[in-house]
Chain A
Amino acid sequence: MNNKYQPPLSSLGRRKFLKYSSLAVGTGILAACSGGASSTGDEDLGENPIKIGIMYSTTGTIAIVEKSLQDATFLALEQINTNTGPWEGNGEGIEGRKIQKVVVNPDSNWDLYNQMSKRLIDEDQVVCVLGCYTSASRKSVLPVFEEKDSILYYPVYYEGNECSSNVFYTGAAPNQQITDSIPYCYENFGAKGFFIGSDYIYPKESNRIAKAELEKIGGKVVGDEYAALGTTEFITIINKIKQAKPDFVLSNLVGDSIPAFYRQFKDAGITAEQIPIMAYPTTEEEILAMGTEYAEGHYTSFNYFQTVDTPENKAFVAQFKEKFGKNRVTNGVMEAAYLQTFFMAQAMRDAIKAGEEIDTKSIREYTRGQKFQAPQGLVKMDPDNYHTYLYSRIGRWGADGQAEIVFATPAAVKPIAWSQTLYPGRVCNRPVPDDRSNPIKETGKDLQVKYLEKT
């Protein structure tokens, strides 16, 4: 093109405009699909591999978190395919059949999750999918998995109030994270809580449940503020916190908002002794990014911390660091992404052993009740509501960026899908075999905390 000749804007031809704009749109789509559906080609997968879908965003805002979930999942799959780690003794792959992963990248775009899950199920014909992080993406794919009757393993603590026969939830239900942390805050910090969060489903629902829990025991919510996803300017919210003078802050901020908030919190002159922050989504990974001095003295409630003292966890941390680098850390969501891959593998193994085809029905029935000695301790997939028996722990962040565990349940807690403060007595009980009927039952009773029996 002759660059000395510069046509004025008006002469920018329609054709040329179309050419360039389609090029630009194309670039955008290309970027969104980069990696597209890449099956692992260079590995030798032997005969008749089992195809599964991996759906985590490795680009866009939420990639910060989802990339590490993908890493943890890949570690588990590698161990399953090579008969190492917790899979040792089971042989390479599942009864001789290796797992083939079909990896898609939905680019942190909720609509793309929907499209890509359709593609995984219809075109790639995967038997199940491991993936999603935000509740927004889960809500976006839920109708797809239900309509096409396929299985999603979802590794994230979430707001509860769902009971699908097509999703296995391996992160915390409200009663495994909120129910213990709110009384802890009330007793140790005081009655007044200031609630903040990112502006989407999970933080709002989670804060709503926490508010009900706090008010039930006599506490008070003195502020309730939300910031758009990805916000890094918190000066207004911090000013409101200063005015409200709460005893503690409950944070449900996610992603890149987390380091910004903790830094500005300390920068504004508020110490962890004056107003401690209790958070759910703040994990080892975010602490590393913000600088440990900003998190010191604050708290997180989670099922797993890198400091959990079990032989399985020591092995997990060592294997993860060996594969992905010494400076990486593990956190609760990654651990859930790791353990759910073994739930899936064990279910497939049991199905093959029983002489059944690997399909939605067999995976579902054999995943129910599956137990696994996870890094956090012994966990179990609840056969009734498809959530997971998990430990409930509270950690206080130290100067080294690791948590000192100040509270832990004696064993894994039975999950309750529905928040009992908002929906007292509501449970989810699926029949065996699952006929996909409405599982919601109103018992009208106060549900007791049940622990997983160690066997």
Chain B
Amino acid sequence: MNKRVEVLKTYKLYIGGKFSRTESGRYFKLEDKKGHTVANLCQSSRKDFRNSVVVARKAQIAWEERSAYNKGQILYRIAENLEGRKSELADLISAERKLDKKKADEEVNDAIDTFLYFAGWTDKYQAIFSSVNPVASSHFNFSILEALGVVSSIMGPDNNFQQLAALISAAIAGGNTLITLVPAELSLSAMTLAEVIHHSDVPAGVVNILTGFEDELLEHMAGHMDVNALLYWGDKKETVIKIRELSESNLKRSVFWPTEKNRARSPYSIYDLQEIKTTWHPIEQIGGATSAY
């Protein structure tokens, strides 16, 4: 009997709720420890990024307007669905980052717990970060958080799978839509995570995942006028400088998380991708009520 030929998976991009090949038709190889090809990955082009921004923009308002409760439910659903793909993900992580299996298992567990963690924060971060402010006039003055909008992000090569989970959950828990460029070292697990996200009731366009090279896409990600924030989770100084320079054009928020800094379990990860909106509401005399405002 003939030996069965294994069906290999084609790794694509995740844009607007669809798994599509790069429009450029370019691919690069991911190799294992022994130099064997593990997979061919899409090398995203600036047009793939542009298309992602279009779908992310389209999805943003509706996603922000979903109730905090619903956003929490959806993040929880991702965690539930990830549980079922644990061993597959651990295998992929150990292949792409050349890690031993035990370490990879831990990373997947941490990632699942991270989605769960942020699911809990969706209806709480407003209460923690909003404030009523003392002002010296007849105004009721308060500050609340609003999503920045379309957030793009670049993950450095030293990030792990849990950090990817944290990035995605922090961005979308706060009502943003996200386009993230993952390095080759996270590509297989990231695209498998995209499959989980895809069937966890996350609306199309809310999360978009690209594989490819930072050097090629950085300029377009930082310069795009319809991107509200660019988060760089990595340590390259030149990248930081370039982002700062190009973000100027539309006053894009640039957020920098060094690899070592653990933002995986912190509500400040949500806060970093929020805008503070302050309202001055005229009121009558407030002294009578001995208010402290």
User: Are these two chains actual partners, yes or no?
Assistant: no
Name A residues whose Cβ lies closer than 8 Å to a Cβ of B.
none
